Amino acid sequence: MRCERLKYLIRDWYHQVREFTLSPLKMMELVNRHIKNCEICQEDEDLTLELEQLREIIRVPYIPHIPKEETTEEFEYLYEEEKEEEEEF
């Protein structure tokens, strides 16, 4: 990657993705927008390979959904306890 501006932007956007303030999809959209307007990026032959590697890095992991019946823990919510106390008065 030859474009120093893109390196800086990717670093900043990646931190935002890690903090869940930016989606990976939006990050790649911003990267593509920069590339369209940057002459250095347009001339960089290795950029497509590097972007593929970046996509693999920021890909959101798959978290399987566990149906409610299979969970063994029961949760008690505070707002339910507070509601019961208010009704007693």
Other C-beta atoms closer than 10 Å to the C-beta of 13 total 21
Number of compact structural domains in the chain: 1
Q: Would you say residue 19 lies in a domain?
A: yes
The rounded distance, in Å, linking the Cα atoms of 14 and 35 is 17
Residue 10, in any domain of the structure: yes
The predicted model scores a pTM of 0.62
Give pLDDT tens digits for 15-26. Answer: 998 888 888 889
Residue 88: inside a domain, yes or no? no
Residue 36 lies in a domain: yes
Read off the tokens for 3.
């474009």
User: Average pLDDT of the chain?
Assistant: 80
pLDDT in tens, 30-49: 999 999 999 999 999 999 99
Give the single-character DSSP code of 62.
Answer: P
Q: How far is residue 4's CA from residue 2's CA, in Å, rounded to a whole number?
A: 6
Range of the domain at 42: 4-58
In a domain? residue 34 = yes
> Does residue 71 sit within a domain?
no
Q: Helix, strand, coil % (nearest 5) of the chain?
A: 65, 0, 35
Would 80 be classed as within a structural domain? no
Is 28 among the domain residues? yes
